[in-house]
Amino acid sequence: MIEHDLKTAILTELGLSLPEISSDFILIPLQMGISIDNEHRIIDLLFYHRSMHCMITVYLKFGELQNDDIEWMKVNLRTLLNYKIREGDEKPIGFILCVQGNKEHVELVQLEQSKGFISKNLIEFSLKQIFKLELHDAVHQARKHLVNGEVHGGT
């Protein structure tokens, strides 16, 4: 199984499943790349959460979470904050989804602790739990589809 194919399949599953869980998740269906100092990474998924009035960026990686990944996500969040959010929106939040063999890890990244509607408990418990469960299911479904030779469209 090729890592790129698995990543595409996982992102497709997540892009389909999160809006099905809640109509509050609106997928913004294009990959957004950011280049800084000759380093280029792609925001894999970008959602707008209607109830929370914020953008949620997702970066999927294989391997252990590195401090560099967290710093890069903060760059993404600052870019969204400076150029993409509208008046009245809350600060964007980010999730780094790590897949290591048969284990998954979800890391929440914020520019600073939110004091408004997007409270610590809402993000760290409810939303983080949703991403943990959906990542696990997406990895399982993606592997199953790839083993069976099923191909789904990319995100």
What values do phi and psi take at 16, rounded to 5?
-90, -40
Please report, as a single letter, which amino acid is at residue 89.
D
In contact, 142 and 104? CB cutoff 8 Å: no
Exposed/middle/buried for residue 59 (C-beta within 10 Å: 0-12, 13-18, 19+): buried
pLDDT range class, residue 64, cuts 50, 70, 90: very high
Rounded Cα–Cα distance for residues 72 and 32 (Å) = 14
DSSP string, 76-126: HHHHHHHHT--TTPPPPEEEEEEEETTEEEEEEE-SS---SSS-HHIIIII
Residues 132-146: what's their mean pLDDT? Answer: 90
Predicted TM-score (pTM) of this structure: 0.81
- Terminal Cα-to-Cα distance of the chain (whole angstroms): 19
pLDDT range class, residue 9, cuts 50, 70, 90: very high
Q: Which domains are delineated in the chain?
A: 3-147 (3.40.1350)
What values do phi and psi take at 48, rounded to 5?
-115, 130
pLDDT for 74-115, tens place per residue? 988 998 888 888 888 989 999 999 999 889 999 999 987 555
Q: What is the pLDDT of residue 95?
A: 94
